[in-house]
Each structure stands twice: as C-alpha cells, then as structure tokens.
C-alpha cells in the first residue's frame, strides 16, 4: 500500500491518543503529562504522585485499552466482512459477542461484580470461545465450512445467547440488572495494566495474521471457487480468520463489554474512502477503529465529569451520523 493513507491514519490515531492523554476531568498541563509519562519510564521529573497516578496508571492504560479494543473490533469486522463477502457482517454475526455477553452476564448473575479482578473478563472470554467452538461445529458440513452455514450458525447462536442472557436478566435483582445494563453498553473504566496484558497477545496474534488474511480476502472478493483457483487455501483461511477474529473479539469484549458500532462501521468507512482492497483496508480499519475508540472514550470521560458515559453510547453517537453522511455522499457519487 502507498504510504500516504497510512500516514494520515497514523496521524489521526496519534492525535486521538495525545488528546486522550492530555484531556480528562483533571486539568493537567501538557508539559506535566509529558513529564509524568517520562517519569513513568523511570526518569525523575518531580511530578506529584497524583498527577503521575492519573497519567501513568489511569489515562495511559485506558488509552491503550481503548486503542486495542477499537483496533481489534475494526480489524475483526473488516476480516469478517471480507470473509462473508458482506459489508453488513460484524463481530456479532459469529455469535462471539453474544457468547461473551452471556459469559459475562452469567458471572454478574453469580456475583462476579463483587469478586472483581479477572473473573468477569475470564467468564466473558470463556463464553466467547464456547460460542466460537459451537458455531464451528454447527457450521461444519463434510469437514468444510460453507460461508452461508457459518453465517446462519452464528446468527442462531447469537439468538440463543441472547435468549439465555434474557433469562438471566429476568432472574436478576435490580442491582444485577443495572450492572448488566452498564456492562452491555461497554466501558473502558476497568482498564489496568493487568487487563491490557490479558488482551495484548490476541492483538499481536491478529497483527501477525494480517498479510495472510489480506491476500486471501482479496481473492475471496471474486468468490470462494475463484479464490481457490487463485491458489488460496480457502477452508484454512476461513478457519484461521474466524479463529483469530473469535479470539480477538472474545478477548476485547470480555474486558470492555460489547462496544458497538466500531466493528461494523469503521471497516465500511475505510472501504468507502480507500477502496475494498484488504491489504489497505485491514490495517487502516485497525488504525481508524483504534482512533475512534480512543476519541470516543476521551469524550466519555469528560462530557459528564466527574461522572462518565458508557463508551458504547459515544461511539454510536459519533459514528452513526458520520456513517449516514458518508453513505449519502457515496450515493451521490454512484448516481453521478
């Protein structure tokens, strides 16, 4: 891919990250933010303890978490849209979001909110993996996974997870209900270095799988048979792409909740602006997904300070109108 789009995407991401580090309910001058970051690296800049804690222990891990979650969701969305050859696919269609939600809601139901630590993310992750395995089994026909069957299995599983989640919601008391509702809206409030370490390997794994996916997904634009004729191991590609998407989405949803919109719309936006080639689409979607997520979380943190909004509300509020605008513009271009 040519460098310019990458540089622009990187600049947006950098701007979003700088904003996330310097803005917040606490007013901290940019110089102090920089000093606190450097001090976090071991240099002594005589930054007071509270500033250091806010910048290095709250804002920095949270920004990284927002970037990882947003990047991962957009990446998975781009991959799945390519795999399903359908621009409306998102991480939800595999049943993974539903599985993670069911896992997390089950944990909340049985009192995980009070246990703290990693119980909730682990339960969400377990739910996501269980869903991915179930979808794989359901969709398999004679050792192959036809895309239509994968899509239908994912939808069936998502519906099942939703039904079971509904049962738990029904059986919850009012406090669990509030917890579940808040979790469903998505939030990065629990960001910490521990949780970052929990999801970082999956982001790394996905990044490594990128070149392979991009090539195969490009060929898949022509159709599954055609991709096969071009030498793409289509079944392997499907299995790997679904697996990586499932792991990644499961990991990020379990720590952040189902942050909506990013996985569906960011890949779509990038496709509208930079074309459907996956070599460009996948990395750009990851960068813009991360940037949107970081920017949305910054707004979530400052809009109603000292309280916070669930980040999912903000991603939807920023993204949906922007999406509508782009579609309108695109329609005009197509009509012309």
Partner 1 sequence: MRSLLLAAALAVAGAIPAFAEPPQRIVVAGNGLTEIVYALGAGDRVAAVDTTSLYPKRAQDLPKVGYLRALAAEGILSLKPDLLLVTDDAGPPAVLAQMAGAGLRVVKAREGHSAEILAERVRMVGSILERGDAAGELEKGLAADFAALAQSLAASPTRPRIVFVLSAGGGTPLAAGADTSAEAMFKLAGAVNAIDGYKGYKPLSAEALAGSGAAVIVTVTHSLQALGGEAAMRALPQFAGAKNMRIVSFDGDYLLGFGPRTAHAARDLAAALRPNETIAKLPERPWVAAP
Partner 2 sequence: MIRATDIVVRRAGRNLVDGVSLVLGEGEFLGLLGPNGAGKSTLLRVLAGEFPPEGGKVEIDGADLKAWPRADLARRRAVLPQHAAVAFDIDGRAIVELGRLPHEGRSTRAQDAQAVADALDACDAAPLASRGYAALSGGEQQRIQLARALAQIGGTPKPLLLLDEPTSSLDLSHQHAVLSLAKRVAAQGGAVLAVLHDLFSASLHCRRVAVLERGRLVAQGTPEEALTPDLVRRVFGVDSRWIDLPGGQRALATYPMAA
Residue numbers at the binding site for partner 2 (CB under 8 A) = 82, 85-87, 215, 218-223, 225-226, 228-233, 271, 275-277
In whole angstroms, the minimum distance from the beta carbon of 138 to partner 2 comes to: 22
Q: Which stretch binds partner 1 (CB under 8 A): 4-12, 34-42, 302-310, 322-330?
A: 302-310
173's torsion region: left (phi>0), alpha (psi -120 to 50) or beta? beta
Q: Phi and psi of 141, rounded to 5°?
A: -125, 115
In whole angstroms, the minimum distance from the beta carbon of 34 to partner 1 comes to: 18
* Residue 26 or 86 with smaller CB distance to partner 2: 86
By the rule CB under 8 A, 46 interacts with partner 1: no
In whole angstroms, the minimum distance from the beta carbon of 281 to partner 2 comes to: 9
Q: Residue 144, SS3? A: strand
Alpha helices in the chain (DSSP H): 3-22, 30-40, 49-52, 60-84, 96-109, 112-115, 119-139, 147-171, 174-185, 193-220, 224-229, 234-256, 262-274, 278-302, 311-335
Concatenate the DSSP letters of all residues of 221-260 into one string: TT-HHHHHHTT--HHHHHHHHHHHHHHHHHHHHHHH----
By the rule CB under 8 A, 168 interacts with partner 1: no
By the rule CB under 8 A, 39 interacts with partner 1: no
Among 31, 163, 208, 304, binds partner 1 (CB under 8 A): 304
In whole angstroms, the minimum distance from the beta carbon of 89 to partner 1 comes to: 31
By the rule CB under 8 A, 69 interacts with partner 1: no
Choose from partner 2, partner 1, none: what does 303 bind? Cβ within 5-8 Å by kind: none
Residue 65 and residue 196 in contact, taking contact as beta carbons nearer than 8 Å: yes
Choose from partner 1, partner 2, none: what does 153 bind? Cβ within 5-8 Å by kind: none
Among 187, 206, 254, 315, binds partner 1 (CB under 8 A): 187
**Residue 91 CA to chain centroid, in angstroms?**
8
The CB density around residue 264, as the number of other CB atoms within 10 Å, is 23
């Amino acid at each position: 891919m040519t460098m310019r789009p990458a540089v622009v995407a990187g600049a947006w991401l950098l701007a979003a990250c700088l904003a996330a580090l310097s803005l917040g309910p606490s007013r901290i001058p940019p110089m102090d933010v920089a000093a606190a970051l450097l001090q976090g690296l071991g240099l002594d800049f005589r930054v007071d303890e509270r500033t250091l804690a806010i910048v290095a222990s709250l804002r920095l891990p949270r920004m990284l978490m927002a970037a990882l979650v947003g990047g991962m969701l957009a990446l998975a969305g781009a991959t799945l849209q390519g795999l399903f050859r359908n621009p409306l696919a998102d991480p939800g269609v595999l049943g993974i979001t539903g599985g993670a939600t069911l896992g997390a809601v089950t944990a909340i139901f049985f009192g995980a909110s009070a246990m703290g630590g990693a119980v909730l993310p682990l339960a969400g992750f377990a739910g996501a993996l269980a869903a991915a395995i179930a979808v794989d089994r359901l969709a398999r026909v004679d050792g192959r996974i036809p895309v239509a069957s994968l899509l239908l299995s994912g939808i069936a599983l998502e519906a099942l997870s939703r039904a079971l989640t509904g049962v738990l919601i029904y059986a919850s008391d009012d406090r669990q209900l509030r917890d579940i509702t808040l979790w469903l809206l998505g939030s990065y409030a629990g960001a910490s270095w521990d949780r970052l370490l929990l999801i970082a390997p999956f982001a790394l794994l996905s990044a490594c799988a990128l070149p392979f996916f991009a090539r195969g997904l490009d060929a898949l634009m022509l159709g599954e048979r055609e991709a096969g004729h071009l030498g793409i191991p289509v079944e392997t590609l499907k299995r790997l792409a679904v697996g990586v998407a499932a792991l990644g989405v499961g990991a990020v949803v379990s720590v952040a909740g189902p942050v909506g919109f990013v996985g569906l719309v960011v890949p779509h936006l990038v496709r509208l602006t930079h074309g459907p080639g996956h070599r460009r689409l996948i990395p750009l979607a990851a960068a813009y997904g991360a940037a949107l997520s970081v920017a949305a979380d910054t707004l979530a943190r400052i809009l109603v300070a000292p309280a916070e909004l669930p980040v999912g509300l903000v991603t939807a509020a920023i993204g949906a109108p922007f999406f509508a605008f782009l579609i309108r513009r695109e329609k005009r271009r197509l009509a012309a």
